């Protein structure tokens, strides 16, 4: 709660709180602020304090008042900040404004227009270019601590889950005085460490994805691999099919590259094949981005029948498929994968180790058709030259010694227990799962607007991931994605239930 101090009034504190949320995209352009009376109740202050704080936000050019509607974050916030056409009311406001400007400039390139049409199974199939700007809120949340409480909206395992003894051992093994000198004083291998690529080839073989080491390229995380594929195969204006709901960062990343996004509804069996077929006829897409196993955010796994039909469409209409298998370490080896069925002809396999092992190591990779390898390698070299040999050699040791396999088994067991507790609590507090709980994430229906709920949860120190983040165009949703590892305690659900009841 806000507490008046000698150095800062309640009005200044409340204004600063909203400035911070706008700067970190926790309040998106176009988002409605709580009504004056509701905000006063939530923050435990007077109505006049809220009015004064909202006036300061207006003076800074961050919000606008709409008659009979309320206060809204400016839709054109990025462009106005860029032009510098606002005049803050005082020096304190000016400082906050400059901070907001710096925070916004880094993500201006993915600003979107909410007025553009969205493609769906029931509306005209129109290629769109607009991503949820709040994708950056999920990324920023990884680095910006909301509180010390477990964060339901995070997309990673808690640090204590990943704490191991074998990783320091692996680093020591590969950093003897001579070997450290050898690979520190020269660039690494362009495709990545040979030992790691050999280990990855064997690992992929267990998934029935057959790729020789020469078909594998290491990257700075799986997201870097996805970016290399996009920059190699696509040009600005090309159409890309992406599953919806889907990973918010992928929508934003493709939009930033100038692609036209074709959202494909994702169900339990797989992508909507009728929508994909219509897209192929109307827009000639160049790429389809899919998470076949433990889809984010639903947890769905692709069925064999859907996989075969997707591959048929790819052959008929001459597009490539990039299969993001980020959660492969959590899934059974026999799960259906497009790359296994296709034999890496039109498919490109992407994965990494940040989720399961070491987020800070940033080691990812791709396995590609032979005729694409050199083109993909050229793109990697232009962007990063090579990747860190030390970490790749250490990772190869972890794989070869069986340490990664045993670690993944322990994580899967612990995750299964956490999932059971989290599901039980969610159901007990009036939620409904839209998809069968599986993997790391749950897709939960709360029966209230989760954008509005997210703002209230922030006041309690919780960052949640509202359903609107997982669509190509932001729209109201009653869904939210939860991380099973951070929602297995009753404390969060009690706060959730109290705030949801207040909203009702």
Give me the tens of pLDDT residue by residue for the chain, a chain 504 residues long.
Answer: 677 777 889 999 999 999 988 887 778 788 889 999 989 988 889 999 999 999 999 999 999 999 888 999 987 765 444 333 333 334 343 433 333 333 333 223 223 332 333 344 344 465 544 434 456 665 665 566 678 899 999 889 999 999 999 999 999 888 876 777 777 777 889 999 999 999 999 999 999 999 999 999 999 999 999 999 999 999 999 999 999 999 888 998 999 899 999 999 999 999 999 999 999 999 999 999 999 999 999 999 999 999 999 999 999 999 999 999 999 999 988 999 999 999 999 999 999 999 999 888 999 999 999 999 999 999 999 989 889 889 999 999 999 999 999 999 999 999 999 999 999 999 999 999 999 999 999 999 999 999 899 989 988 989 999 998 899 887 889 999 999 999 999 999 999 999 999 988
How is 95-145 classified by DSSP, letter by letter? HHHHHHHHHHHTTGGG---TTS----SSS----B----TTHHHHHHHHHS-
**CB-based contacts of 500, cutoff 8 Å, min separation 6:** 430, 446, 447, 448, 453
For residue 288, the number of C-alpha atoms closer than 13 Å in the C-beta half-sphere is 34
Paired with 433 in beta bridges are 444
Name the CATH code of domain 149-157+406-503 (choices 2.40.50.100, 3.90.1150.10, 3.40.470.10, 3.40.30.10). 3.90.1150.10
CATH number of 10-110: 1.10.10.10
**CB-based contacts of 202, cutoff 8 Å, min separation 6:** none
Domains of the chain by residue range: 10-110, 149-157+406-503
Contact at 8 Å (CB) between 225 and 233?
A: no
Output the pTM of the full model: 0.81
Length of the chain: 504
């Amino acid at each position: 709660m806000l507490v008046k101090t000698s150095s800062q009034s309640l009005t200044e504190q409340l204004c600063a709180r909203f400035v911070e949320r706008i700067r970190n995209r926790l309040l998106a352009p176009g988002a409605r602020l709580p009504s004056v009376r509701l905000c006063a109740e939530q923050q435990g202050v007077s109505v006049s304090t809220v009015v004064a704080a909202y006036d300061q936000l207006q003076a800074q050019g961050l919000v606008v008042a709409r008659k009979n509607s309320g206060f809204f974050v400016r839709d054109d916030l990025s462009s106005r900040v860029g032009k510098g056409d606002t005049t803050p009311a005082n020096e304190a406001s000016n400082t906050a404004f400059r901070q907001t400007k710096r925070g916004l400039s880094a993500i201006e390139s993915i600003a979107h227009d909410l007025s553009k049409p969205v493609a769906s199974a029931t509306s005209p199939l129109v290629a769109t270019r607009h991503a949820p700007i709040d994708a950056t809120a999920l990324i920023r949340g990884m680095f910006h601590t909301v509180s010390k409480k477990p964060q339901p909206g995070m997309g990673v395992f808690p640090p204590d889950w990943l704490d191991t003894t074998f990783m320091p051992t692996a680093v020591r093994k590969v950093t003897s005085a001579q070997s450290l000198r050898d690979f520190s004083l020269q660039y690494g291998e362009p495709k990545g460490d040979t030992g790691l690529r050999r280990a990855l080839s064997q690992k992929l073989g267990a998934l029935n994805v057959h790729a020789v080491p020469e078909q594998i390229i290491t990257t700075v995380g799986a997201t870097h691999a996805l970016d290399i594929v996009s920059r190699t195969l696509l040009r600005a204006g090309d159409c890309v099919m992406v599953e919806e709901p889907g990973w918010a960062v992928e929508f934003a990343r493709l939009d930033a590259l100038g692609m036209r996004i074709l959202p494909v509804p994702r169900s339990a069996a797989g992508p909507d094949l009728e929508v994909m077929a219509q897209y192929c006829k109307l827009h000639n897409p160049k790429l389809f981005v899919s998470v076949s196993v433990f889809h984010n955010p639903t947890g769905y796994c692709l069925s064999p029948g859907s996989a075969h039909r997707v591959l048929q469409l790819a052959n008929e209409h001459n597009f490539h498929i990039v299969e993001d298998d980020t959660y492969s370490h959590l899934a059974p080896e026999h799960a259906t994968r497009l790359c296994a069925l296709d034999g890496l002809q039109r498919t490109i396999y992407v994965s990494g180790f940040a989720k399961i092992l070491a987020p800070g190591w940033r080691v990812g990779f791709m396995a590609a058709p032979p005729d694409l390898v050199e083109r993909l390698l050229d793109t990697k070299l232009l962007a990063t030259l090579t990747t860190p040999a030390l970490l790749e050699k250490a990772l190869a040791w972890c794989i070869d010694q069986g340490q990664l396999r045993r670690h993944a088994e322990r994580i899967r067991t612990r995750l299964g227990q956490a999932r059971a507790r989290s599901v039980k609590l969610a159901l007990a507090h009036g939620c409904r799962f839209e998809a069968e709980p599986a993997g790391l994430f749950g897709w939960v229906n709360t029966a209230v607007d989760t954008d509005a709920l997210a703002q209230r949860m922030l006041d309690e120190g919780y960052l949640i991931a509202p359903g609107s983040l997982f669509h190509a165009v932001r729209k109201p949703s009653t869904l939210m994605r939860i991380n099973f590892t951070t929602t297995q305690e009753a404390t969060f659900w009690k706060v959730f239930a109290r705030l949801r009841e207040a909203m009702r």
